[in-house]
Amino acid sequence: MGNTIQSVRGFSDLLPEQTPLWRQVEGVLTGVLARYGYREIRLPQLEKTELFSRTIGEVTDIVEKEMYTFADRNGDSLSLRPEGTAGCVRACMQHGLLHNQQPRLWYMGSMFRHERPQKGRLRQFHQIGAEVFGLTGPDVDAELIVMTARMLRELGLRHVELQLNTLGTAEARQHYRQALVDYLSGYRDALDEDSRRRLETNPLRILDSKNPDTQALLDEAPVLDDYLDDASKSHFSRLKQLLDEAGVAYRVNPRLVRGLDYYGRTVFEWVTDQLGAQGTVCAGGRYDGLVEQLGGKPTPAVGFALGLERLVTLVEDQGLVQPRSEVDVYMVVSGEAAEQQALVLAETLRDTMPWAKFQMHCGGGSFKSQFKRADRSGARFAVVLGDDELARGEVGVKDLRDGGEQRTVGRDELPDVLTGLLNEQ
Ligand code: ATP
Ligand code: MG
């Protein structure tokens, strides 16, 4: 393997044995989105770098050190998208989707961040996200959260906790930021390097530091709650009331801040203790200032993104996978005449049984070797097509499990027989 080319670190392949589970998870999530009347938008993976620095924020981890940024052949600075919200806002503005409309949208796809790869943390990863524009909430905040609760429930996940907080207005955060900096500056030497840097650049981020010493310092620190404006407070209590009413349990975490600059008021995360340090499977919140910040009319907005790698891992680890074979019936063929007709027979079967999966044996070989492949395909039944059977207008149907009984049926009866057998199992 010395010289063979390997994939880029942090960029992984999804092999055929993994993709069915991914499709299952994606199917549940996108199905729920459709049932709430959300519409899909597909967005480019590459955007102008400026879009991200102006939205996510210059001094955030993402923009400072995680983006894949390069100059293209024209010298323009471009970046692979590290998240979906900025591009979604850009597209809505560019195509006039925010004029007298309140679009509820979803997207799915790859995101790129140059982080240290580990379980649940890749450099190319996948999100499903939703964004709603033009609605001030808190009714729509509640809808989004209730919808994420349904998604996780319908995936069958246990041990996930909803954490909730409000960040208030930009002005409230400004005042609080100052108070926090004043307090923490007195303990500069006790802070780790990361937090010392953040004290200058992005002090609120210190609140979700994983360092226990820092967390201990924060016990005595000023709390954002004391700086909140009344409107944000009543928005938050209404949201909590709606969630109570809907029976969605949550924990208010006053230190939940999120790493992106554009959030205000509602923020939330779904967190699990089953994935080590990579415990957040879904994160979102309100970003009422962002459209205006990008030169549009003031437009309230709220959204979230789910991390698919982490969800798929949870579904797998919690044993929620229902393996479904990729093949129902394997077609075994021997003899020249049989080979000639097998293709037509398989096409006829696919016409009459569009819900079933037929795999045709290709490449010849003995019956024995063909049955070996049939077993390996995971198929439940084999249809056996030999010249002798064919001459009589018949085919063999072999049960590949349970003793391997083989029966002979007329070609005309074949769809009915197979339908019966496959529905029985
Ligand atoms: P974290 O704190 O784990 O780095 P984040 O706050 O950077 O997460 P967001 O930008 O809010 O993450 O993205 C939403 C979700 O996308 C996360 O909750 C997580 O499930 C997933 N996610 C983020 N970064 C990665 C990554 N590098 N690899 C895999 N999934 C990721
Ligand atoms: Mg991150």
Which DSSP string do the residues of 131-170 spell out, in sequence order?
Answer: EEES---SHHHHHHHHHHHHHHHHTT--SEEEEEEE---H
Q: Which of ligand 1's atoms lies nearest the C-alpha of 304?
A: 14
Cis status, amide bond into 138, omega within 30 of 0: yes
Q: Which of ligand 1's atoms lies nearest the C-alpha of 120?
A: 29
Look at residue 253 in the predicted model and tell me its pLDDT: 93
- Give yes or no for a contact between 92 and 98, defined as CB atoms under 8 angstroms apart: yes
Least trusted range by pLDDT, from 79-83, 131-135, 197-201: 197-201
Give the closest ligand to the alpha carbon of residue 310: 1
Arithmetic mean of pLDDT, 174-195: 90
The whole-angstrom distance between residue 177's C-alpha and the CA centroid of its chain comes to: 32
Q: Is the dihedral of CA 287, 292, 293, 295 positive or negative?
A: positive
Would you place residue 92 in the very low, low, confident or very high pLDDT band (cuts 50, 70, 90)? very high
Residue with tokens 């994935």: 275
Our CA angle for 375, 376, 379, nearest 5°, is 55
- Give yes or no for a contact between 120 and 275, defined as CB atoms under 8 angstroms apart: yes
Tokens representing 122 are 């890749």
Is residue 71 predicted with pLDDT exceeding 90? yes
What is the distance in A from the centroid of ligand 2 to the CA of 385?
56
Q: Which residue has the higher pLDDT, 301 or 174?
A: 301
Would you place residue 237 in the very low, low, confident or very high pLDDT band (cuts 50, 70, 90)? very high
Look at residue 319 in the predicted model and tell me its pLDDT: 80
Residue with tokens 């459709």: 34
Q: Could you tell me the CA-to-CA distances from 280 to 120, 277, 304, 307, 328 in Å, in that order?
A: 10, 9, 12, 8, 37
**Backbone φ, ψ for residue 243 (5° rounding):** -70, -40
Q: Which residues have C-beta atoms less than 6 Å from ligand 1? A: 83, 113, 115, 120-122, 125, 127, 259, 278, 280-283, 305, 307, 309-310
Residue with tokens 């077609």: 331
Is residue 129 predicted with pLDDT exceeding 90? yes
Average pLDDT, the chain: 93
- From atom 3 of ligand 1, which residue's Cα is the shortest distance away? 278
- Give yes or no for a contact between 124 and 111, defined as CB atoms under 8 angstroms apart: yes
Give the whole-angstrom CA distance, residue 295 versus residue 16.
44
Is residue 1 predicted with pLDDT exceeding 60? no
Give the whole-angstrom CA distance, residue 230 versus residue 303.
23
Tokens representing 143 are 């809808």
Q: Which residues contact residue 229 at a Cβ distance below 8 angstroms, ignoring those fewer than 6 apart?
A: 168, 169, 171, 172
What is the distance in A from the centroid of ligand 1 to the CA of 116?
12
User: How does pLDDT run across 384-396, given as a tens digit for each residue?
Assistant: 999 888 889 999 9
What is the distance in A from the centroid of ligand 2 to the CA of 188?
24
Length of the chain: 425
Residue with tokens 């027989």: 417
Give me the helix-helix angle, 19-35 and 139-154, nearest 10°: 150
Q: Which residues contact residue 421 at a Cβ distance below 8 angstroms, ignoring those fewer than 6 apart?
A: 380, 381, 397, 399
- From atom 25 of ligand 1, which residue's Cα is the shortest distance away? 121
Would you place residue 260 in the very low, low, confident or very high pLDDT band (cuts 50, 70, 90)? low
In the chain, % helix, strand, coil (3-state, to 5) comes to: 40, 20, 35
Give the whole-angstrom CA distance, residue 184 versus residue 192.
12
First-to-last alpha carbon distance for the chain, in angstroms, is 43
Tokens representing 165 are 């907080």
- Give yes or no for a contact between 47 and 90, defined as CB atoms under 8 angstroms apart: yes
Is residue 105 predicted with pLDDT exceeding 60? yes
245, containing H or E segment? helix 230-246
Look at residue 13 in the predicted model and tell me its pLDDT: 97
Q: Could you tell me the CA-to-CA distances from 86 to 122, 162, 299, 333 in Å, in that order?
A: 20, 24, 14, 55
User: In 10 A of CB 280, how many CB atoms?
Assistant: 18
Q: How many Cα atoms occupy the beta-carbon half-sphere of 399 within 13 Å?
A: 13
- Give yes or no for a contact between 166 and 236, defined as CB atoms under 8 angstroms apart: yes
Q: Which of 113, 128, 160, 280 to mutate to test the pocket of ligand 1 (most atoms within 8 A of CB)?
A: 280
Q: Which of ligand 1's atoms lies nearest the C-alpha of 259?
A: 6
Is residue 259 predicted with pLDDT exceeding 80? no
User: How does pLDDT run across 267-324, given as a tens digit for each residue?
Assistant: 999 999 988 888 999 999 999 989 998 999 999 999 999 999 999 999 999 887 776 7
Q: Which of ligand 1's atoms lies nearest the C-alpha of 121?
A: 28
Arithmetic mean of pLDDT, 77-88: 97
Give the whole-angstrom CA distance, residue 87 versus residue 84.
6
